Amino acid sequence: MAAKHGYRFLQDRKCKRRRFVALCLLFGLVASLTWGVESAVSASHGVADSAAAAEDAAQSDTQGDAQDGDASGSDVADSQSGSDVAADGSTDAASSDASASADPDITAQVQGSLDSIFAGAQYSVEVTNLKTGATKVSIGADEQFTSASTYKLYIAYSMISAVENGTVTWNSSLNGTTLRSCFSDMIIQSDNACPTAWLEKYGFQAVSQQVAQAGFSGTQIAHADMRTTPADLTDYLTRLYSGTSTDATTGATTDFMDADSRAYLIQCMESQIYRSGIPAGIGDSGTVADKVGFLDGLLHDAAIIYTDKGDYTMVIMTDGSSWGAIAQAAATIYAAL
């Protein structure tokens, strides 16, 4: 019996040991499995983190590219803007060149013909485009001539200035009639008594100073010595047409007569009776408002011409020529405009 009990004891110990080993193995297996799962999860998280990092990096690169693209876009825009500016500059330059080429000075084109027309005579011519201000013809524009009756345009300016500043009215008495009547006779019929009466009343020196202050520097109002230039007459007609004067020093603009006064003077010029010069040369091609002057061999014509080609000033001053030559010169110039 004792031997049997010892055998059972040994068997129990072996069983316990086997159980222990089995439990250890089981524990080890469980631990191994747990570690494997954690490693797999960790690895999975690492992959995910790596993927997220890669995605973030990709997004960062994309944003960087987008920013670079924006910068490039800005550069392109700036480049395009610069191109636009350059294009605009080119356009402006081209426009300026186009304007110049569209309205060129034609002096060289017509001077040979004018020299032939006025052969043996002294002459000066200035023509300007009243819309653009461009000089079309300029031959001796600053040459001073005895003005003959073209000086009456400056007397008209003096009279109108006196009316506008309230010194006189159009109904004021002058030379036995009203100022208005005297004024119209002076321009339409080139009457001499009216401007003589005005100068005697207000003084040659005062009127000459008034004309000089208005900016007509090439013009002189003196007893028996009236002088002017094509340039001054052109300036006068340009102001008469536009209604403004521009100070040569400051660039400031002021009114040159009021609208009613200018309209009245232009109406008188359109009605003046000596039409054998520029009006004859322009003919049916336009309307001419002009003032002529003739004294001994001097023949002058200072005009605003309104035509289908545009509105122009045309001043022709001559010594030793004829009205027919002036008409031919006007027609020649007009054909070339």
Which residue, 310, 15, 317, 301, is CA-closest to 142? 317
d(CA 172, CA 57): 97
**Is pLDDT above 50 for 251?**
yes
- Contact at 8 Å (CB) between 288 and 303? yes
- Helix (H) / strand (E) element for 124: namely strand 122-129
pLDDT in tens, 268-321: 999 999 999 999 999 999 999 999 999 999 999 999 999 999 999 999 999 999
- Helix (H) / strand (E) element for 291: namely strand 286-295
Determine the pLDDT at residue 108.
98
- Helix (H) / strand (E) element for 317: namely strand 310-319
Which of the residue ranges 15-19, 37-41, 198-202, 210-214 would you say has the lowest mean pLDDT?
37-41
% pLDDT > 90, the chain: 68
Determine the pLDDT at residue 100.
55
Cα distances (angstroms) measured from residue 60 to each of 46, 50, 51, 54, 160: 20, 15, 14, 10, 81
pTM of the predicted protein model: 0.72
**Is pLDDT above 80 for 36?**
no
Cα distances (angstroms) measured from residue 136 to each of 114, 129, 290: 14, 7, 18
The highest-confidence range among 5-9, 30-34, 141-145, by mean pLDDT, is 141-145
Q: What band does 44 get if pLDDT is binned at 50, 70 and 90?
A: very low
Determine the pLDDT at residue 98.
57
Determine the pLDDT at residue 32.
53
DSSP 161-192: HHHHTTS--TTSEETTEEHHHHHHHHHHS--S
Determine the pLDDT at residue 149.
98
Determine the pLDDT at residue 101.
67
Q: Which residue has the higher pLDDT, 160 or 76?
A: 160
DSSP 184-227: HHHHHS--SHHHHHHHHHH-HHHHHHHHHHTT-TT-B--TT--E
Q: Which residue has the higher pLDDT, 251 or 34?
A: 251
Please report which residue ranges of the chain form alpha helices under DSSP H: 2-102, 107-117, 152-164, 179-188, 193-202, 204-213, 230-242, 259-271, 278-282, 323-336
d(CA 161, CA 158): 5
- Contact at 8 Å (CB) between 174 and 182? yes
**Is pLDDT above 50 for 188?**
yes
Determine the pLDDT at residue 81.
43
Determine the pLDDT at residue 272.
98
Q: What band does 29 get if pLDDT is binned at 50, 70 and 90?
A: low
- Greatest alpha-carbon pair distance for the chain in Å reads 183
Q: What band does 191 get if pLDDT is binned at 50, 70 and 90?
A: very high
Q: What band does 2 get if pLDDT is binned at 50, 70 and 90?
A: very low
Q: Which residue has the higher pLDDT, 16 or 72?
A: 16
**Is pLDDT above 90 for 216?**
yes
Q: What band does 249 get if pLDDT is binned at 50, 70 and 90?
A: confident
Q: What band does 87 get if pLDDT is binned at 50, 70 and 90?
A: very low
Measure the CA angle with vertex 236, ends 215 and 247; round to 5°. 35
Determine the pLDDT at residue 102.
84
**Is pLDDT above 70 for 92?**
no
Q: How many residues does the chain have?
A: 337
> Hey, is 302 helix, strand or coil?
strand
Mean pLDDT of the chain: 82
d(CA 1, CA 5): 6
d(CA 89, CA 86): 5
Determine the pLDDT at residue 97.
53
